[in-house]
Amino acid sequence: MAAVNDLWKIINQRVINVSTLDNIPAVTAYAGLFAVQMEIPNVEDVMLAALLSDISLIFHPLDTITKLKTGGIEKLNAEELKRYKEHPVNSLKIALDRKVPINNNIREILLCTHERADGNGFPKKRASDKIPYESYIVQFAEEYHQISMLKEGSTSINLQEYNKILMDSPDTMNRYKPTFVNNIKKLFV
């Protein structure tokens, strides 16, 4: 990452709404932390993929971003949803256009940060065995950040509560490989 000149300048080059970028530093830090704790050898690749995975969202209309933040993808109309599901590919294109040094591993991690183990992810609906393990780390880091973030009028969630939410969530096994879920659970014991 040190080889990239002004990486934050790339990310902030067209900030029209700070809320499109507010999760990036935390998600990147969590992805790095989880990768280190899981003894992933390419922590820097995981962190760079996390840093860049949602960068194209800065080019989405403010109304779309607001819908995503307040109600999730279920609130998007068909056109907004189609464009949203293309954002991992568009994020890669932006990074490549800006000459960010991206190796094949980073490329695959970045492209699969919204893929799901059940094959219902996007942009390619990849099968579980075609999704890099590191992509699950980035995806989980984003989910963890959303759940653990202190919100106005609420108290923060502790690790034991989060582990219970993870174990009880019917979506967890659809989203992540069972080996990944087992490894994440070990981090919260």
Q: Is 50 exposed, middle or buried (0-12, 13-18, 19+ CB in 10 A)?
A: buried
Q: Please report the pLDDT score of residue 172 as a whole number.
A: 82
Tokens of 170: 């019917």
**pTM of the model as a whole:** 0.84
- Is the pLDDT at 127 greater than 90? The verdict is yes
Q: Torsion over CA of 76, 80, 83 and 88, rounded to 10 degrees?
A: -30
pLDDT confidence of 11, banded at 50, 70, 90? very low
Using DSSP's 3-state secondary structure scheme, residue 151 falls into coil
Q: Is 148 exposed, middle or buried (0-12, 13-18, 19+ CB in 10 A)?
A: middle
CA distance 134 to 31: 9
pLDDT confidence of 144, banded at 50, 70, 90? confident
Who has greater pLDDT, 51 or 8?
51
Q: Please report the pLDDT score of residue 16 as a whole number.
A: 40
Residue 182: φ, ψ to 5°: -60, -40
Who has greater pLDDT, 23 or 99?
99
pLDDT digits (tens, 9 = 90+) for 79-124: 999 999 999 999 999 999 999 999 999 999 999 999 999 999 999 9
Tell me the C-alpha to C-alpha distance, in Å, between residue 47 and each of 51, 71, 87, 181.
Answer: 6, 27, 18, 20
* DSSP label at residue 150: -
CA distance 53 to 28: 10
pLDDT digits (tens, 9 = 90+) for 162-189: 777 776 777 888 899 989 988 988 887 7
Tokens of 165: 């939410």
- Is the pLDDT at 7 greater than 90? The verdict is no
Q: Which of 58-72, 100-114, 128-142 is predicted least confidently?
A: 58-72
Q: Can you name the CATH fold of 7-187?
A: Hypothetical protein af1432 (1.10.3210)
